[in-house]
Structure 1
Amino acid sequence: MLRRLKFLALLLTLSLALGCNRVGLAYRNLDVIIPWTLNDYLDMNAGQKSWFNDSLKQHLAWHCTTQLPGYLDWLDRLQTMVDSNQVTDAALQTRTVEAKQAIGEIAREITPTAVQLLQGLDDQQVKEMNDALAKDLRKRQDEYLKPPLPQQIKERAERMSKRLDAWIGPLSTRQQSRVMAWSAALGDQNTEWIGNRARWQAQFIDAVQQRQSADFPRRMQQLLVDRESLWTPEYRSAYAQTEAAARSLIVDLMAESTAQQRLKLTQKIDAVRSDFKALKCLKATPSQ
């Protein structure tokens, strides 16, 4: 369930550079999408749904008026990197830090709502949520861990190529080879990723089962806002290596990019910017 709350943050920051073709359209429908997808993990009663929907609308209004203007600046900096051919490791590190800070702002904003919602669950709802999270984890284990390692590497490269195609167009043979080398270098990274997810879910459910304790808000703050404090040293190292590998991949792909690919990327960034600027709440912001 909390994965869907974090979906708000992820959609509005990191996915700007990776996934959603119509961010503005998705944003305008978040108040519909999020309650619906929460049902994947939690069967809320009528009162809980009504309260959550009202809270979500307030969060969206806060986000659109106070956070989105900063995203437009972030997009400008991203586009400047592309236009000036300065897609470097250092610049990407800076953009990543900025994106993480944006996610942190949202996590801090929504955590009190998450605490209140979770404290209001009954035991049956907690059991059903635990079962749904366990089912989701098994599905991911089947998809990402059961295949032989060579197949995992191949499928990871295919997923990355598909995302890249959406933003810069078809990859050249050299670029495709670089993506495959990136995936191969990550090796058994899926094990670390799924293992960390499993640890987080176990800690989350343990906290929710003690949701009436005085310590519950602090534990949820750690689980939602300070997640990295819960990482094992091994996962912390693996995550840093994965991030560095991703930056190196992007730097190399952009160095090999054609004028047509860079044009498409610029157009995609501009489309995201236009989507955001078209939002009514953003138009009402005095600074816009």
Structure 2
Amino acid sequence: MTTWLVTGGAGYIGAHVVRAFQAEGITPVVIDDLSSGHREFVPEGVEFVEGSILDTDLVAETLTRTGCAGVMHIAGFKYAGVSVERPLHTYAQNVTGTVSVLDAMARAGVDAYVFSSSASVYGTPDVDIVTEDQPLHPESPYGETKLIGEWLAADAVRARPALRAVCLRYFNVVGSGTDEVYDSSPHNLFPLVIEALLAGKTPHINGDDYATPDGTCVRDYVHVADLAISHVAAAKALADGRELLSAYNLGSGDGLSVAQIMDAMARMTGHDFVPTVGPRRPGDPARIVADGTAAARDLDWTMRWTVDEMVKSAWSARVAHS
């Protein structure tokens, strides 16, 4: 049976990818330093290595010992706003960490690599729907590190022709595929709203005067279980030797507004509320949505969940951990 290493596999996205691997009969091995992940998110019976991806020897030893065929590199410092305040930490985790993973793969002779990138590599595009050939202009240290991560993957492939790699870009990941795992980020919209409701507070909207149908910002929101399926599809495509693009958007193609999210939150949580509205946040564009056409063609990408189902799954998983 094929084995893949999942870096950051105790985190919100990584833990869903671990389960998606299991569903396809692929054995996952997890390495995570638990800086933002949770040991209990790793399913029972999955080998767990507690440690940092910066420890190249540990990563290489794990790859060799477990006979991994590939690496799903999800570990990273993922907070764009905080990255402005902590750029050196962000670069150490996301750039030096990625160098370490690729070095360990070369040492262990592992030749398949899926990199969890980000749509933040586009910055603020001047189009409503972002395709993979849109110019890359990241606007935060986090976005910069993700773009450098893509460069590193390309350079590693050029230097080692046996290596095959693909990068996956996406915006806002929401929901849950199991009550065992929930989004514990203090910065993402869904957990911010859910934690406010659990605390008896009223959620907040930043600006309702944008040039959108309801005046609130429109963004890509994709369900984490869908995301995990396409990560594993990418791994299988590499293993099968199929021709792939160097990068894919995992995007909705149409997006959801913040007001639509708030409406669904009120409906699906049983907490009837009217969000408070404050001024716009500087730099927030009215609409950013990614086109997922290429990923739909090559990586089994599709939006399987409605906004109500996204919210319901997120709420159920969070309440299960109350």
TM superposition score normalised by structure 2? 0.29
TM-score, length of structure 1 as denominator length: 0.31
- Higher RCO structure (Cα 8 Å, ≥6 apart): 1
Which is greater in Rg? 1
The structure in which a higher percent of residues are helix is 1
User: Structure 1 or 2: larger strand share?
Assistant: 2
